[in-house]
Amino acid sequence: MNKKKIINDPVYGFISIPSELVFDLIEHPYFQRLRYIKQLGMTHLVYPGALHTRFHHALGAMHLMGTAVETLCNKGVDITPEEKEGLTIAILLHDVGHGPFSHALEQTIVEEIDHEDISILLMDKLNEEFGGRLTTAISIFKGTHPKNYLHQLVSSQLDMDRMDYLNRDSFFTGVSEGVISSDRIIKMLNVKDNAIAVEEKGIYSIEKFLISRRLMYWQVYLHKTVIAAEQLLCKIFKRSRELALTGSKFPVTPALAYFLENVIGKAEFMSNSKHLDTFALLDDTDVMAAVKIWADADDFVLKTLCHNLINRKLFHVDITAERPDDEMVKNLRANAMKKYKITAHEAEYFVFTDSIRNNAYNKGDGNIHILMKNGSIKDITLASDNSNLEALSKTVKKHILCYSKELL
C-alpha cells in the first residue's frame, strides 16, 4: 500500500505525510477520533465557519514542523533523521488527548486532569503498540530529550502548535486580526545555547504574533458569547452528572454514561487503563446526542439548559474588571427561583459567576529569545522598541456574571 499520501489543506495547500509510521499513526483510531472534536468548542455559535477540528489542526502543525526542521537543518543545526521523525510525531499527537469540544469540557468530564496528561498516556499506549518507535517523540514531548530546542518547537511560547492555531482559527472564523507571518517567523528561527531563538530581523513578525494572539483571545477565544455557550455546555454536563450520581439513568452512549456515573480524579485515571480506553471513545457526537435527548428530560433544569443550547438561547454575560455585585447576584437568583419555581441550589445553574484571563506572553516562562546581530540573546520585550509588548506580558483578569436574560 502506498502510504506517501498528500492532503489538501485549505490553509497551507498540499501537506505531505513524511513516513509510513506517521501514516499509520494518522490511521489509528486515537487520531481519527480528532475528526469529530471541534477545535474551538462552541465558537461556531458566534462564528459560523469555526467548524474545523483537532484533526485539521494537528496536520497543520505537523506541516509547519516540517518547514521549521528544514529551516534549522539548512542553518547547520544538528537534527538527526530519528529526531526529525520524533518531532513530526510529537507535534502530530500533541492534542490526541483532547476530549469532546476541546477546552470547553476540559476538567469537567475527568476532573483535575489536562489534555496534555491524557495525550502522554495515549502516546505511551501507542508506543507499546508500535514496538517502541515513539520513544524519541515522547521524550521530546515531555521535555526530557537533551536537545531542549526540540521540545520548544512542540511546546513553548513560539511553537508550531500556536502558529497553526492562530493561522487556522483566524482563517475559519474570518477574524483577520489573528493572521500572523508564520512563514517568515519560521524562516527566522535558529538555535543558540540549546534554545530556539529568532534572528533579529524577524523581530517585527514576533511583535505581530504576540499582538495577534492577544486580539484573538478577546475577539474569539474569550468572546462573551463564546463564553456563554461553553458555560452553558458545562452546566449541562454538571447537572446531568449530579442527577446520574443520585441514581438517574439517561439513554446516552456507554462511554459518556461511564463518565457521568463515576467521578474520576487524576490519580485514579492515570492508574486505570479502562478509564483511558473509555475516554478514547468519546467525541463531540456523544455529547450532542445526549443534549438532544436530555432536552426532553423530566428534570426542569437539565431540560431547560439543553433546550436553550440547541436553540441558541444563551446566557447573558457581563464582563467587568471588578467582581460582580453580590446583591445583584442574589436578586437574580431570587428571580430565577420565583420564575422557574426552583430551589436556591437549582437557581445557581441559571445565575453564576466566574473569571477569565488573557496573557499573550508569559515573561520568564520559556521566553521568546531574539538572536541579535552581535550574537547576544535578548528577551523580546527588551529587544523590541514597541513599549506595548511589556503590557502584553501582564495577565489581564476579568470577572464574568452569567444569567438568563429573562431574569432581569
The CATH number of residue 307's host domain is 1.20.1250.30
Whether the CB-CB separation of 89 and 141 falls below 8 Å is answered with: no
| Pair 40, 134 in one domain | yes
Distance (Å, whole) CA 100 – CA 95: 12
- CB 386, CB 393: distance < 8 Å: no
The answer, yes or no, to whether residue 389 has pLDDT greater than 90, is no
Residues 205 and 322 in one domain: no
How far apart, in Å, are the Cα atoms of 158 and each of 73, 88, 152, 238, 382?
Answer: 18, 16, 8, 35, 17
Mapping DSSP to helix (H, G, I), strand (E, B) and coil, where does residue 98 land? coil
Q: With CA atoms as reference, report the closest residue to 255 among 228, 273, 275.
A: 275
Q: For the whole model, what pTM was predicted?
A: 0.95
Q: Is residue 194 included in any domain, yes or no?
A: yes
Q: How many CA atoms lie within 13 A of 110 on its CB side?
A: 26
Q: How far apart are CA 180 and CA 176, in angstroms?
A: 9
Q: Which three cell numbers stand for residue 256?
A: 459518556
Q: For the chain, what percent of residues have pLDDT higher than 90?
A: 85
Asked if 101 and 121 sit in the same domain, the reply is: yes
Model pLDDT, residue 364: 65
Domain CATH for 78: 1.10.3210.10
Q: Is the pLDDT of residue 320 over 70?
A: yes
Rg of the chain over all Cα atoms, to the nearest angstrom: 23
What pLDDT is attached to residue 108? 87
Count how many residues are written for the chain: 408
pLDDT digits (tens, 9 = 90+) for 234-288: 999 999 999 999 988 888 999 999 999 988 988 899 999 999 999 999 999 999 9
- Specify whether 313 is located in the same domain as 165: no
**Do both 190 and 126 map to the same domain?**
yes
Judge if 11 and 152 occupy the same domain.
yes
Task: Say whether pLDDT at 366 is over 80.
Answer: no
Residue 298 confidence (pLDDT) above 70: yes
Among the residue ranges 5-9, 105-109, 171-175, 208-212, the one predicted with the least confidence is 105-109
pLDDT of residue 365: 66
Q: Helices (H), strands (E): how many in the chain? A: 20, 9
Q: Are 216 and 257 part of one and the same domain?
A: no
244 and 154, same structural domain? no
Q: Where are the alpha helices (DSSP H) in 174-317?
A: 182-187, 203-216, 224-244, 254-260, 266-271, 273-279, 284-294, 300-310
Query: Does residue 145 form part of some domain?
Result: yes
With CA atoms as reference, report the closest residue to 309 among 251, 240, 249, 228.
228
Q: What's the whole-number mean pLDDT along residues 158-179?
A: 96
Domain tally, the chain:
2
The string over 40-74, giving b where at least 16 C-beta atoms fall within 10 Å of a residue's C-beta and e elsewhere, is bbbbbbbbeebebbbbbbbbbbbbbbbbbbebbee
Same domain, 183 and 304: no
Task: Tell me, yes or no, whether 80 lies in a domain.
Answer: yes
pLDDT range class, residue 207, cuts 50, 70, 90: very high
- DSSP H helical segments within 75-222, as ranges? 81-92, 115-129, 135-142, 148-154, 160-173, 182-187, 203-216
Domain membership flag for residue 395: no
170 assigned to some structural domain: yes
Shared-domain flag, residues 30 and 176: yes
**Whether 67 and 127 share a structural domain:** yes
Q: For residue 361, tell me if it sits in a domain.
A: no
Looking at residue 361, what is its pLDDT? Answer: 87
Residue 199 belongs to domain spanning:
6-222+367-385
Same domain, 100 and 194: yes
Name 333's Cβ contacts closer than 8 Å, sequence gap at least 6: 344, 347, 348, 350, 351
Grid cell locating 149: 530546542
The Cα 305–Cα 301 span in angstroms is: 6
Tens digits of per-residue pLDDT, 43-101? 999 999 999 999 999 999 999 999 999 999 999 999 999 999 999 999 999 999 999 99
The neighbour count for residue 95, using CB atoms within 10 Å, is 23
Asked whether residue 392 is assigned to any structural domain, the reply reads no
Band of pLDDT at residue 380, cut at 50, 70 and 90: very high
Q: Is residue 287 part of a domain?
A: yes
